[in-house]
Amino acid sequence: MSENSQFRFGAATGVGSMPGGDAREAAKTVTGTFEDFPFLPELPARGPGADMIGRTAGLLVELYARVEPSGWRLGDRPGRDTKRARSWLGEDLDALEEFTQEYEGPLKVQAVGPWTLAANLELRNGEAALSDAGACRDLAASLAEGLRLHLAEVRRRIPGAQLVLQLDEPSLTAVLRGRVKTASGYRTHRAVDRQVVEQTLRDLVGTHTAGPVVVHSCAPDVPFALLRRAGAAAVSFDFSLLTERDDETIGEAVEGGTRLFTGVVPGAEGPLSDPAGSVMGVRTLWRRLGLAPGLLAEAVTVTPACGLAGASPGYARTALAHCARAARSLADNPE
């Protein structure tokens, strides 16, 4: 974390997913909108292997997954689903490389984190990997090695980029609270010990030594303190889900140097307020916490509330541009 405290994040970026299936169009939109903090777009509308779980399963080393009617299940060898996931990722990297020639600056790459992966990947018996502590360890180790290789490939293609790794953990709170359903749907898997969750994340964060790690969750009750202890340089969340009981942990996170990726622009279609209105809640939070307004631009990156896969292409473009304008409003008028 200390080496990342001087890292220059951009003022605004996206969460990850985009609508449609055209990798070049998505890369063009993202790089054109966020000139100082683009990200590698994900296009889940293309089908299995482009979805969040399948895309990350395709990165695993010596573990393979295939699509079953119930979801993604670990298997013995790479099949067509793994190949499809890797092919689409290659297509996405080709497109991003095309639109980031000579780019120098932060670039965000997303993957599903170890706990959301364990909650959503099935073992051969149909139960979530989460049900087996050994399987969770194997999955985390495989993911760490897969991400190391993936980030090295991104660095080779875009050598001027300073890579930011985003771990998507929407199931993390459910894992901690024992709310992940079993295959039957009648019971839930027992809660995983918080220290085990924290240590697994810390180990994974530690493998990305070349840049900061941000953890994203658009679920309620994001465990800010746990993520900070695990070494996350930033936490990405749906700002509308915050409550005043989160104030203390957020204040401690900011004072400890953790950056906030505040999801203030709705991911779903609908009218948008003016850019200043979109970040009004962030300014209000700052005043409530007694933090210096001058810290805002140093501590906040503006994003949509969640991914934009379910939006129309037109709204997705508008929402991303709105994030950039809202971030400028925050910087120009922090009070």
What type of residue sits at position 315?
Y
Residue 13 lies in a domain: no
Q: How many domains are there within the chain? A: 1
Residue 10 lies in a domain: no
pLDDT given at position 3: 45
CB 161 within 8 A of CB 212: no
- How far apart CA 213 and CA 205 sit, in angstroms, is 6
pLDDT given at position 5: 54
The range of the structural domain enclosing residue 326 comes to 23-332
CB 271 within 8 A of CB 309: no
Q: What is the pTM for the complete model shown?
A: 0.96
| Helix, strand and coil percent figures for the chain, each rounded to 5 | 50, 15, 35
- How far apart CA 237 and CA 12 sit, in angstroms, is 14
- How far apart CA 150 and CA 79 sit, in angstroms, is 20
- How far apart CA 36 and CA 32 sit, in angstroms, is 10
In three state form, how does the secondary structure of 186-233 look? CCECCCCCHHHHHHHHHHHHHHCCCCCEEEEECCCCCCHHHHHHCCCC
pLDDT given at position 33: 98
List, for residues 196-228, the tens digit of each pLDDT value. 999 999 999 998 877 999 999 999 999 999 999
Picking from 307, 234, 320, the residue whose alpha carbon sits closest to that of residue 50 is: 307
- How far apart CA 235 and CA 226 sit, in angstroms, is 11
pLDDT given at position 270: 87
For 159, other C-beta atoms within 10 Å of its C-beta total 10
Distances (CA, A) of 304 to 6, 22, 71, 205: 24, 21, 27, 24
Residue 5 lies in a domain: no
Residue 135 lies in a domain: yes
E strand segments, the chain: 64-68, 71-75, 105-112, 121-122, 161-168, 213-217, 234-238, 259-265, 300-304
CB 137 within 8 A of CB 118: no
Q: Extract the tokens encoding 140.
A: 């985390």
Regions of the chain where pLDDT drops below 50: 1-4
Q: Packing angle between helix 280-289 and helix 247-255, nearest 10 degrees?
A: 80
- How far apart CA 231 and CA 203 sit, in angstroms, is 9
Residue 9 lies in a domain: no
Q: Extract the tokens encoding 228.
A: 């900070």
Residue 12 lies in a domain: no
Picking from 197, 227, 195, the residue whose alpha carbon sits closest to that of residue 213 is: 227
Q: What is the CATH number of the domain that holds 141?
A: 3.20.20.210
Residue 112 lies in a domain: yes
Residue 312 lies in a domain: yes
